[in-house]
Amino acid sequence: AMEELVNETTKGGRKRITFYYINMSTLKIITWNVRGLQSERLRKKKVLFLQKLDYDILCLQELRLKTNEDIGELNKLWGPSHSVISIGEDSADGVGFFFKNTHVNIIKKRDIIPGQLLLVDCHYDGQKFRLINVYTAPERTKKMQLLKKMRHLLECGFNTVLCGDFNMVTEENDRIASTTFKESREGKLLTQICKDASLRDLYRILNPQTTLYKKVLQLKKLTTSDIQLWEILKERMRNFFKFKCREINYAKNMKYNEQVNQYIYLKNKKN
């Protein structure tokens, strides 16, 4: 099973589903771009929320931690359960695996690209897994370097879970734009890597028509009807973003999804 919990919008105007979980038989794996755990306030708030979720393994991206002291503070909050964290040099770097309990045997852990590409081989709940957590930088050159390194990590003879924030679009229905879709060089490479490794995109299988990333239309001015709708949506967005994370469930998310899309579209026209 898979459930969306939180939608976020990047500075570039793309709509990103940042939180969903995969239930493989009895194993529940959550992947989420947390957008920073560097401040004490955010760390406490988000860790408290995460610890209440129903999961076995958390795969988090964009931790934004900078020092071993930061990692230590996060682990204190997390408690006795196992965690494997990788931090990097760029401001948005940081990926990690967090296990619900201590019944896990870590066989191997490799910090392939600090803060961006982390591998863990482990035994958990009677199964052997290779877990790969990815956060790609915006620069194309760095993305290509990461993907080439990642390709070799998929060559193993047991269960492999690849998750993370790739910051790229690989399918037509991953975006909305006025221009014709053209897959980038790095997008093509990611698609080919997944095909060669016989990986299945579980989110796309379960949500074949859902747009994962939205690139909004950049129009120059608003019409009269746009202005009226803009004022209505502004008030609705204020109400929407008052929800605390724990209160946003699937039904509420679906209810407001279209309004969020309209709001983003009009905001970009207005700007």
H/E stretch holding 164? strand 159-165
62 is in an annotated binding site: yes
Q: Is 54 annotated as a binding residue?
A: no
What dihedral angle (degrees, nearest 10) is formed by the CA atoms of 47, 53, 58, 61? -50
Angle between helices 68-78 and 40-51 (to 10 degrees): 40
In this structure, the number of other CB atoms found within 10 A of the CB of residue 119 comes to: 21
β-bridge mates for residue 113, sequence order? 117
- Tell whether 167 is in a known binding site: yes
Query: Are the C-beta atoms of 137 and 90 separated by less than 8 Å?
Result: yes
Is 33 marked as binding a ligand? yes
CA distance 66 to 213: 28
Closest CA to 167 of 197, 200, 142, 198: 142
From the annotation, which residues make up the binding site for Mg(2+)? 33, 62, 165, 167
From the annotation, which residues make up the binding site? 33, 62, 165, 167
